[in-house]
């Protein structure tokens, strides 16, 4: 069974600018990486003939053969453990965890081996491994099929953790992740797989950098993954109300781009952090703390957070109550001591 809405296959050609979905951009990035580097291998549950639950690997096995893109048993710990051995022996494995919560059986491998091997060998053995994880909600998935587990990975030293919010970043960041000599956890927002945008395959991205998604002067919204389009929607509504909202796409959860985020918040003096995950001990709370530490004397009001609730992920019929929305973010903006500017 597949959850994909359409065929995502793309042909690998010379660099072009094309409108495509995020799913298609990821597919193109994998195809281009396999084609350009004989050491790249892609594997995971149902990624071969089926093309993955979300069709991200659609057509790769038919095009490149089972030695380059192949199915595995339903054993996440074995998938990551096999990838560790491959990376230790010179390959560049790209593995897919079928759903976010499905990755948890492999968490011991990730923490004990993937993240630590470079440090354990004092850089003598690197770990060029990418772990792709569809994450977050917005698709009406049942329990174990929608989760926001980014804090576990961002808290683990030795891992680079990134999440795209546009098809362009999906392509560019995945290409950068695959060429990295160190392990990358690549979080793909399921809600955005079918969002469309222009992709220039000649554009590169640096891991560990944020980007300004929209300029503004009154308040800065800090978001990543599927929360970035929400932040942009908030900015549109706020503009109609006379407020200029800046949006920063954090992109990299670890390492964190303090320079870009700090400069953005200093320029407006107000900030709201938006994330789907529960707020307690979260990436959102870390962002909030870092902004407080670096921007305190520039702030006109406390930094607010709008997150998921501190409960297990909501079932499909209640999901819309769980996820942050425009009204909740606007309410947070309204609390930012605007009377001080009067």
CA 293, CA 287: separation in Å to the nearest integer? 10
Q: Which residues contact 221 (CB under 8 A, 6 or more apart)?
A: 231, 234, 235, 245, 246, 247, 248, 271, 272, 273, 274, 329
Residue in 144, 145, 155, 320 annotated catalytic: 145
- Integer CA distances (angstroms), 214 to 162, 192, 292, 334, in order: 20, 19, 22, 20
- Rounded CA-CA distance 128/41 in Å is 11
337 is catalytic: no
Please report, in angstroms and rounded to a whole number, the separation of the first and last CA atoms in the chain.
58
Q: Cα(87)–Cα(93) distance, rounded to whole angstroms?
A: 7
What does residue 252 show for φ and ψ, rounded to 5 degrees?
-100, 115
HEC-encoded secondary structure of 109-141? HHHHHHCCHHHHCCCCCCCCCEEEEEECCCCCC
Q: Which two tokens stand for residue 315?
A: 């079932």
| Whole-number Å distance between alpha carbons of 130 and 159 | 10
Q: Which residues are catalytic?
A: 145
């Amino acid at each position: 069974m597949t959850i994909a809405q359409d065929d995502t296959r793309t042909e690998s050609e010379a660099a072009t600018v094309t409108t495509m979905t995020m799913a298609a951009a990821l597919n193109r990035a994998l195809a281009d990486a396999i084609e350009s580097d004989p050491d790249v291998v892609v594997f995971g549950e149902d990624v071969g003939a089926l093309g993955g639950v979300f069709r991200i690997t659609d057509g790769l096995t038919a095009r490149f053969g089972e030695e380059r893109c192949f199915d595995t048993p339903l054993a996440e710990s074995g998938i990551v453990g096999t990838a560790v051995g491959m990376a230790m022996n010179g390959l560049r494995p790209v593995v897919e965890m079928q759903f976010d919560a499905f990755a948890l059986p492999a968490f011991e491998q990730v923490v004990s081996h993937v993240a630590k091997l470079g440090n354990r060998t004092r850089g003598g053995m690197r770990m060029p491994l990418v772990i792709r994880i569809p994450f977050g909600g917005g698709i009406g998935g049942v329990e174990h099929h929608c989760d926001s587990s980014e804090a576990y990975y961002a808290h683990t030293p030795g891992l680079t953790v990134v999440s795209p919010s546009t098809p362009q970043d999906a392509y560019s960041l995945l290409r950068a992740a695959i060429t990295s000599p160190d392990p990358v956890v690549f979080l793909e927002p399921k809600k955005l797989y079918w969002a469309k945008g222009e992709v220039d395959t000649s554009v590169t991205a640096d891991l560990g950098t944020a980007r300004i998604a929209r300029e503004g002067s009154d308040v800065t919204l800090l978001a990543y993954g599927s929360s970035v389009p929400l932040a942009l929607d908030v900015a549109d509504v706020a503009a109609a109300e006379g407020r200029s909202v800046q949006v920063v796409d954090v992109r990299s959860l670890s390492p964190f781009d303090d320079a870009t985020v700090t400069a953005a918040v200093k320029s407006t003096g107000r900030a709201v952090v938006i994330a789907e995950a529960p707020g307690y001990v979260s990436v959102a709370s870390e962002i909030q703390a870092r902004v407080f530490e670096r921007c305190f004397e520039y702030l006109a009001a406390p930094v607010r957070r709008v997150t998921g609730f501190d409960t297990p992920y909501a079932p499909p019929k209640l999901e819309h109550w769980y996820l942050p929305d425009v009204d909740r973010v606007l309410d947070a903006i309204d609390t930012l001591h605007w009377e001080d500017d009067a």
